[in-house]
Amino acid sequence: MTLAPRPEQQRLIELSAADLRPRLDEALELYVAAMDYPPDTVRQRAPMWLAHMMREGWRCVVALDENEALAGISYGYRGAAGQWWHEQVRRGLTARTDAEPSTVDEWMRDYFELTELHVRPDAQARGLGEALLRRLVGTVDSERVLLSTPEGPTRAWKLYRRLGFQDVLRHYQFTGDPRPFAVLGRVLPIEANPVATTD
């Protein structure tokens, strides 16, 4: 198997919604491969991704390999009341007895939701995820960035800890998904050498 080029040999570019729509199937196939989901997940996720593209502050950064194929994709948008993820996280935080109302408001007031960050399996463990994340959030004007990721010792988890993401909500079950998730966040911007957090 031939390894994908290192991040510095790949081209990171920002795509508009109009740019991504014609490549949506390719992007979703990358997502399914990276997450090891069943192939029919592509059809299930397409309407959601299309709806996300319409949200305020939506941004997308992709990595293209030497053949102009997608090697990685990241996107997100400004979080706001009424959005499914926002309401789920707020409910989870409010339900925790140790969460002060001021803490909930602080995290949920002005944030960029890092919705998707995926790297093609043959391009993983080479720094591309970090490059995509930094480029995606590098120019957003929100105070914070929030994300959710399945609990467990994954490459994604290690990346977020290395970049200084801290616990916001742990072992939370989103409606319709039996897996426990962690909601992680940090203040923006992400400096060149952030102080890593420990688990």
CB 182 within 8 A of CB 199: no
Catalytic, out of 77, 111, 160, 172:
160
CA distance 88 to 91: 5
β-partners of residue 166 are 185
CB 55 within 8 A of CB 77: yes
77 classed as catalytic: no
Buried b (16+ CB within 10 A) or exposed e, 124-137: bebebbbbbbbbbb
Catalytic residue numbers, as ranges: 160
